[in-house]
Amino acid sequence: MEHAAAMDLQDVSSAANPDIDDAQALMRGAARLLWEMGFSAIPEFILPDGRRADLAALGRKGEITIVEIKSGVADFRADSKWENYTGYCERLYFAVSQRFPHDLIPDHAGLIVADAFGGAVVRESPRQPLAPARRKALTLRFARAAADRLMRVEEPAEPGR
């Protein structure tokens, strides 16, 4: 199910919805930044409550970060699901373009300014520790999601799937 949603997103043409292309560029740049910071990130990570985080990342010491991608002000104002993400990560960031009004980003979240080629942390996210049991459950969910995606890439599609 996750994979199908990600594939549909990639099939949308830029002429039909330029915000989709902006969001993909922001996601790519934020993921590259996270990689440079020592995190491994996966897009469209399904949380235990069923919500989908734009980017989830796991650090070298097991720290969990979520990045919410916002392609524009309308996207930011229309979506408040990110308010529930703080229970599933130590750090929460918004990744936006340089033209996004940075003062809209709440103080309890970090700010990443990105483009398709990379990004920079403009404001650090406050750290909110996770309970050990929740961290373990999320780490296992992250590992399984990453492994399942790799398996789908390397295996031919089964009929009927």
* Beta-carbon count within 10 A of 80 CB: 8
pLDDT tens digits for 116-145?
999 999 999 999 999 999 999 999 999 999
pLDDT reported for residue 7: 34
Given the DSSP bridges, would you call strands 110-115 and 91-96 parallel, antiparallel or unpaired?
parallel
The residues, ordered by sequence, that sit 6+ positions from 116 with a Cβ below 8 Å of its Cβ are: 24, 25, 26, 28, 29
Domain boundaries, the chain: 2-153
Predicted TM-score of the model (pTM):
0.82
pLDDT reported for residue 157: 66
Which parts of 70-135 are beta strand (E)? 91-96, 110-115, 118-123
pLDDT reported for residue 148: 93
pLDDT reported for residue 113: 97
CA-nearest of 42, 44, 53 to 81 is 53
pLDDT reported for residue 81: 82
10-residue stretch averages of pLDDT, the chain, 161 residues long: 36 44 92 97 96 96 96 89 91 96 94 96 96 96 95 71 53
- Choose which CATH entry (2.20.25, 3.10.450, 3.30.43, 3.40.1350) describes domain 2-153: 3.40.1350
- Report the distance separating Cα 21 and Cα 32, nearest Å: 17
